Amino acid sequence: MNARETVIKIVGVPQHTPTNEAITTFAPVNIALIKYWGKRDDQLNLPVTNSLSIALPTKGTTTTIRINHTTHDTYWLNGESVDKNSEFFNRLHYFCDLFRFHPSYHFDIDTKNNIPTAAGLASSASGFAALTLAFNQLFRLTLEKSELSILARLGSGSACRSLWDGCVEWEKGQREDGLDSFAHPYEAATSFLDSIGVGLLIFAKEKKKMSSRDAMLTTVKTSPLYSQWSKHVEQDLTDIKRAMSQHDFIRFGEIAEKNALAMHNTMLTSEPSINYCNASTLHYREKIWALRKTKCPIYFTQDAGPNIKLLFQKESLSVVKEEFPSAEIIFLSR
Ligand code: PMV
């Protein structure tokens, strides 16, 4: 099954006529505590393992879509027209083609992120999730969240987790067509997460060196550590769920941090080596480890970019503010 067939399978026979109204949607950024790294199907973005994330309720993507009556789509990102020769343009175009239920349909898409784009802060996840929600409304598809999650996954794997607030688990699924590979809320974590803060330490705003798609492919193909990765993830998922149910923040932080480091170490051992860290990443990692010894439990996670996301409890807020004055702080409870 290819991506287009997946869309048809989910939305049915494509006779959908779009509304002429402009539709605006929002989807939150999600940060993986247990990472998705590696695909079993590159076209359908089917993962090798389950993954678990938390949404940042106020950070994400707002997208406005309307049908235009010309012969081509127009895409705007943060107020600027998207360069037709860019990789981002191609990804958007590919995704829009999946929803072009009639060749005459063209779309104006205006998308705004309130976090830096493509710097390992999951803007593609919130972006494709917001766009999926927009297509759902534009064509009045009234799909279930699980179906929207499958469709968002076709744009970017982690986008399938950006349709909910709170803690979300993405089931890897077994099927080759991926119809059992979608996300759902992990409600058992809700009361624990109410007391957790995330600090975004954004010291690098430039676009990442290598897309996560290419980096995953290279890691799966060449890293000698990759064969261990799915075992790690399974264990980490079980352990972090237990830690959250026991309100054990230290264990929670240890597992999330260890999982992120294992992902980065796995890709470092690829051929060629993939390194998303810079000198500031290493500096802040050291600082966090030192603070843990002297002040209070602060942990971190890191995605496909140099920036660091702090994980801490409400009672450590004053230390976080003092030690990381540039960090943008977000609490997970609304
Ligand atoms: O969905 P992608 O292709 O942007 O990959 C996301 C990869 C990580 O952010 C590093 C991990 C994750 O689970 O979000």
300-319 residue pLDDT tens: 999 999 999 999 999 999 99
Question: CA 194 to CA 166: how far, in whole Å?
Answer: 9
Q: Which residues pair with 313 in a beta bridge?
A: 196
Average pLDDT of the segment spanning 32-60: 96
CATH (residue range 3-190):
3.30.230.10
Dihedral (CA of 299, 270, 129, 123) sign? positive
- Whether the per-residue pLDDT at 281 is higher than 90: the answer is yes
Q: Which atom of ligand 1 is nearest to the CA of 36?
A: 13
pLDDT at 96: 97
Q: Is 303 in the pocket of ligand 1 (CB under 6 A)?
A: yes
Per-domain boundaries in the chain = 3-190, 192-331
Which helix (H) or strand (E) segment holds residue 238: the answer is helix 226-245
Tokens of 250: 């230290």
Cis bond upstream, residue 103 (ω within 30): no
d(CA 330, ligand 1 centre) in Å:
20
**Structure pTM?**
0.96
Q: Is 158 in the pocket of ligand 1 (CB under 6 A)?
A: yes
Q: How confident is the model at residue 333 (pLDDT cuts 50, 70, 90)?
A: confident
Average pLDDT of the segment spanning 284-298: 96
- Whether the per-residue pLDDT at 163 is higher than 90: the answer is yes
The amino acid occupying position 51 is: S
A 10 A CB-CB count for 121 gives: 26
- Whether the per-residue pLDDT at 55 is higher than 80: the answer is yes
Q: Which atom of ligand 1 is nearest to the CA of 159?
A: 1
Question: CA 310 to CA 294: how far, in whole Å?
Answer: 17
Residue 325: CB partners within 8 Å, gap ≥ 6? Answer: none
pLDDT at 208: 72
pLDDT at 334: 62
Q: Is 35 in the pocket of ligand 1 (CB under 6 A)?
A: yes
Average pLDDT along the chain: 94
**More confidently predicted of 25 and 69:** 25
A 10 A CB-CB count for 148 gives: 23
Nearest CA to ligand 1 atom 6: 158
Q: How confident is the model at residue 117 (pLDDT cuts 50, 70, 90)?
A: low
pLDDT at 32: 97
> pLDDT tens digits, residue range 234-262?
999 999 999 999 999 999 999 999 999 99
Q: Is 36 in the pocket of ligand 1 (CB under 6 A)?
A: yes
Nearest CA to ligand 1 atom 9: 303
pLDDT at 188: 85
Q: Is 128 in the pocket of ligand 1 (CB under 6 A)?
A: no
d(CA 295, ligand 1 centre) in Å:
31
> pLDDT tens digits, residue range 124-153?
899 999 999 999 999 999 999 999 999 999
Q: Is 32 in the pocket of ligand 1 (CB under 6 A)?
A: yes
The CATH number, out of the four listed (3.40.190.10, 3.40.50.720, 3.40.50.1100, 3.30.70.890), of the domain defined by the range 192-331: 3.30.70.890
pLDDT at 121: 65
**More confidently predicted of 169 and 15:** 169
Question: CA 267 to CA 78: how far, in whole Å?
Answer: 31
Q: Is 162 in the pocket of ligand 1 (CB under 6 A)?
A: no
Nearest CA to ligand 1 atom 10: 303
pLDDT at 205: 75
Q: Is 124 in the pocket of ligand 1 (CB under 6 A)?
A: yes
d(CA 250, ligand 1 centre) in Å:
24
pLDDT at 87: 87
pLDDT at 204: 84
Question: CA 149 to CA 162: how far, in whole Å?
Answer: 8
d(CA 157, ligand 1 centre) in Å:
7
